[in-house]
Amino acid sequence: MPEKTRVVCCGFDPMLVAGYIRTNQRAIWWYLPDELYEDYQVKPGDVVCGKLLAVYDYDGKKVAEPNLEFEWPTAKESGLAVVVPSDVIKNFKLTAWHFLEMVITKVKKLKGYEEKVARAAEEKGYEEAEKVEEVEKVTKVPVYEEVEVYPGEEKCRKWWPDDKMKMEFHLDFVEP
């Protein structure tokens, strides 16, 4: 178990989050432990992998134990912030007043991009393609190097304390 952590979610007002979810934009994020960030030189575009063990609400009550494997991207501006995907936000009704308990197992370091050719026959058939661009389409696909986080070790350096998980003020999740 390389790096076990409990973090507070960061994000926008739930009304904004609802709008950002609809457009699949960054709405909720959390921050990596500083030591992991520095040790692995996590950069924008890298992907953090692990398992989401528990979700806690603003009263410190455990509201879910998903044991969900995840691969979440870091923010465009900083490798320190990890973006929670819209479907996870909706499934667990996350707000900036929730806490996530997880194990971080690896970091996928962005090495660059390679071009991939998709042909219309694979998608909808040549007979339906009206333009040459529809017959053969070139897209850029990210290429990653997977790096195990603290192999053979167990770390637990960023842990939100139980007594600090009760928040006096909170706003509830707003359905998108």
Q: What is the mean pLDDT of the chain?
A: 89
Per domain, the residue ranges of the chain are: 3-109+145-162
The 10s digit of each residue's pLDDT in 110-137 is: 999 999 887 765 555 555 545 555 567 7
Query: From CA 129, how far away is CA 110, in angstroms rounded?
Result: 34
Which residues are within 8 A (CB) of 138 and not within 5 positions of it... i.e. 6 or more apart? Answer: 115, 116, 117, 118
What pTM, to 2 d.p., does this model score? 0.84
How far the first Cα of the chain sits from its last, in Å, is: 35
